[in-house]
Chains A and B, each alone.
Chain A
Amino acid sequence: MSAEKLLEIKDLCIHYITEDGTVKAVDGMNLEVGKGETLGLVGETGAGKTTTALGIMNLIPAPPGKILQGEVIFEGEDLLKKKAADIRKIRGNKISMIFQDPMTALNPVMTVGEQIMEVVQLHKKVSKAEAIKHTQDMLELVGIPGARWVDYPHQFSGGMKQRVVIAMALACDPTLLIADEPTTALDVTIQAQVLDLMKRLKDELNTSMIMITHDLGIVAEVCDKVAIMYAGNVVEYTNKENLYRTPRHPYTVGLFNSIPSPDSDEDRLKPIEGLMPDPTNLPSGCPFHPRCPNATEKCARVIPTPIEVTPGHFVKCLEYAPGGLH
């Protein structure tokens, strides 16, 4: 955790205000990403991972989305206070994003070349010929023949589309890359290829990365730090070694226990009991308490705050708070 700070999220709250109620998609989030570091953002569907990413890019669809409070400090400046024109200069340039579903993330009526060129021409002062050259180089970088820049997305397979999206995200040498489940839509062999590619590119270009995933295996492979999210909250936040050696939060422990071990003879999976709460109607106190094996009456009353249990290891659980669970 000694790397120079690149991105700092302070007390970020993003809510979706709908007719059916208010969804606290991100609720009081604090995170840091250092230069060259990779942060894993882990959680179930609906935990607020993608909302966090869109919040950093200032791309929350409004309405219904609203950033209520907080700061997103990138290279010393609060992105949320920037003018639309200024934030556009950062999007796709210094911060770029790899979206979840490669099938829908590319515009079907534009060639992949046009789509990559677009971001190059927006942020770099280059001639058209140079932009085309750069586009072809980017495609080659992700393992697609440069000559295919004139092809349309429907002419590529899913894995190739994802690589096109990655090429697009890397085209302007971003300092921060946000990858939103870059491998979820892909089959396992392609997943491995894409992960290898991203790791290699990260090492070559020294890009910082936020890796959004629900796969703890991917975290172990690529991340330096991990934030575990549950119902809009970061419940545990530490470096990879701490997380895998000494998971503290009952949710994190539950996640690890639910991974089937190849050594044991058990036939059944061990899931965390219960379901994700209704996002418009979160439980009182700690949002995890109805599913938590250690929960007490106090957990239903008191909202926990992040506690630094060992240096650099934050846990949002009353068990570690002064006074404990009772």
Chain B
Amino acid sequence: MHKYILKRLLALIPVMLGVSLIIFTMMYFTPGDPAAMMLGESAPPEQREALREELGLNDPFWIQYGNWLRGIVLEGDIGTSYTTRRDVADEIMDRFPATLQLAVSGVVVAVVLGVPIGIISATRQYSIFDNVSMFVALLGVSMPNFWMAMLLILLFAVNLQWLPSSGLNHGFRSLILPAITLGTGAAAIIARMTRSSMLEVIRQDYIRTARAKGQVESKVTNVHALKNALIPIITVIGLQFGGLLGGAVLTETVFSIPGVGRLMVESIGQRNFPVVQGGVLFIAITFSLVNLLVDILYAFVDPRIKSQYK
């Protein structure tokens, strides 16, 4: 198991190299001049040229990429933000706690809603509950997050004035609306996956065996069936969580939450190349780590998978 984890971590190195090359190339070919963005369109050309020289933007592609990579590998320095002159790592780490809070609370809402709905739908296939909840889940998947967010703000912040409409300054209370916004969409996906996975499992022979032992129906469903149905459910939850850790741009924007998603969008607008590159690398690493975590969880759920991890 330890060996497996180590192998997977080592495999991250080529992945990160690939990601860095792709994002660097994309930024290199992006139209727009960072120097012009920083100094303003009215700045004299000589001044812009001097800044370009200073930032190394006039060097050939491979030199620029090499310098950036050398900085990361040798000094652990992802780069310096063009706008704030701060370390990119610091910029991201300033924003990450907000994103992490949002992602965790969103996933908690999604799991708490999605898994039980999926289980009940599966055990009562074609009942009214099943039909209604699957219809609502379809709505949930289809509804854009920002629209959901605005409706929630309108109802709970503006009309009822129960909850704050923006920022993260009110502690737990300020997380409720963003978490519901992010959670409902993810809950819909999780509920549908839970339902289909459970439906497959409850037709298996070992479920009949459990009933033939005289086990009560709730334990048959929640112990015997659920544990077998968990693999695809965990996969979906992992994907949702990984995605949310990369920042939920629209939700962060509507609720004015200073997260990684907004930092990225702002930096792209400003042609703030080091922040965008660093941010993408960071997002790729968190996503890979969440994936690894999911794969490790598989082993705890299914002993057959565990025996393959060597």
Contact = CB atoms under 8 A, between A and B. Distances in A.
Contacts of B76: none
A109 B212 contact: no
A118 interface: yes
A92 interface: yes
B84 interface: no
A154 interface: yes
Contact of A107 (B212, B214, B216, B224): B224
Given A99-B205, A99-B208, A99-B209, A108 B214 contact: no
A287 B36 CA distance: 91
B301 interface: yes
A107 B211 contact: no
B215 A154 contact: no
Contacts of B89: none
Interface string A57-92: 101000000000000000000000000000011111
Interface in A83-114: 88-93, 96-97, 99, 101, 104-110
Contact of A92 (B205, B213, B224, B227): B213
Contacts of B204: 104
B212 A59 contact: yes
Given A93-B214, A96-B212, A108 B205 contact: no
B64 interface: no
Contact of B215 (A101, A104, A108, A122): A122
B170 interface: no
A108 B302 contact: yes
A152 interface: yes
Contacts of A122: 213-215
B307 interface: yes
A118 B208 contact: no
Contacts of A107: 206, 209-210, 224, 228
Contacts of A110: 224, 227
Given A107-B224, A108-B304, A154-B304, A119 B213 contact: yes
B206 A104 contact: yes
A168 interface: yes
A109 B301 contact: yes
Interface residues of A, number: 29
Contacts of A106: 206, 209
A5 interface: no
Contacts of A155: 307
Contacts of B303: 108-109, 152, 154
A90 B214 contact: yes
Contacts of A109: 227-228, 301-303
B213 A91 contact: yes
A202 interface: no
A291 interface: no
Nearest to A106: B206
A118 B304 CA distance: 21
B212 to A, nearest CB: 5
A291 B20 CA distance: 74
B216 A88 contact: yes
A123 interface: yes
Given A154-B303, A154-B304, A154-B307, A105 B214 contact: no
A154 B228 CA distance: 14
Contacts of A97: 212
B303 to A, nearest CB: 4
Nearest to A57: B212
A168 B208 CA distance: 14
Given A59-B208, A91-B212, A122-B214, 10 more contacts: A91-B213, A92-B215, A105-B206, A108-B228, A108-B303, A115-B209, A118-B213, A152-B304, A154-B303, A165-B209
11 contacts: A88-B215, A92-B213, A105-B209, A106-B209, A107-B206, A108-B206, A108-B304, A109-B302, A115-B209, A119-B213, A123-B214
Interface of A: 57, 59, 88-93, 96-97, 99, 101, 104-110, 115, 118-119, 122-123, 152, 154-155, 165, 168
3 interchain residue pairs of minimum CB distance: A92-B213, A91-B214, A104-B205
